[in-house]
Amino acid sequence: MWYADSGNGPFYKCPACKLTHGAHKHDGRFSSQRTHERGEPLGVPCDVETKELRHRVHAALDRLWTTPEERGRVYRRTAQKLGLPPDDCHVARFGKSRCEALLELLRKQEIW
């Protein structure tokens, strides 16, 4: 795995599988309880299938909010439905099974 910086910000890339994973652009606050450093991974690296599921989850969640306050409510409700602490409800940390479970909740409209 190697680290680089692009026009979209820093990222990691695996030379074997060619997957990429974003990294923080700036030092600063990450959540209410911790800070991050430039270059710290944005989440947990994953395979192609999980990356596609994460994109689908983000697209579905993003349709549920238009303001920062609504975004906070959507993610707090998502955390509650998934049994996660709010600060751990980051799609970039989700594996395949959690993405699939959340997509099913969204399909059934159980988030709202």
pLDDT in tens, 59-91: 999 999 999 999 999 999 999 999 999 888 999
Nearest alpha carbon to residue 102 among 53, 64, 62: 53
pTM attached to this predicted model: 0.76
Q: Report the C-alpha gap between 93 and 13 in whole angstroms.
A: 17
Structure-model confidence comparison of residues 60 and 10, the more confident one:
60
Give CA torsion, residues 15, 8, 47, 68, to 10 deg: 160
